[in-house]
Chains A and B, each alone.
Chain A
């Protein structure tokens, strides 16, 4: 069990970050190597400046708001939640003073962010159980939803324990010691091993690693491609 814990928390995490970074760069390089079609492919009427509207389209999803407001709320909650959690993890690695301009506890929302994301994920999943979204869905769609769900569930469990049921077997400093050891390439799992939450952490990191590695090879690349494609649509 100790070996397994170590494998997931150290070598697999390094591997995941490596696959994520190299894979994403490889995919982007592959895209840039392709010739451009170079024809006007805009949808009219176009508005200037095109890049500003494209950016707004990619970040604010106005087409979703117009055609499916419920989905828009869920997508907004999910993606903002994701952003909050990414920032939370960065603060877990080290203090980032500019982020603390407005003082807050590491991980915003006292556990509510994770809960909201889980509800959003359940909603996304339920949409895929009915036609016509069901007919469009492929195994990749369900697998990614499941991985996100498990990652957030196990991660939130650690957050909820500290916030909701006063079970602080691991503190922010314990997580930070582990993450900092990874960043400084002197990996040590001593601070997070053998506690009541080690299983949660291993499960969380395992799922997160799988997601990171899936990123370059799945539709998750929409996070990057959306900017370019929206730019083409805006002319």
Chain B
């Protein structure tokens, strides 16, 4: 388990296109600026989509963690 603290966890496993990006962009607005969201995904595309999304929307990916075929992103809301 990661020691990273987060305010909200979003399940993005096995979603149709383009729901992972749509849901993470909505989900990040549900925490306060400065708080962290944990997003869990199984899709390889998400591994490039999320960093690209973070770049365009101005949020920060603090850490990426892999466990049992799933990848968790810890994303800090910056604005």
Are any A and B Cβ atoms less than 8 Å apart in their complex?
Answer: no
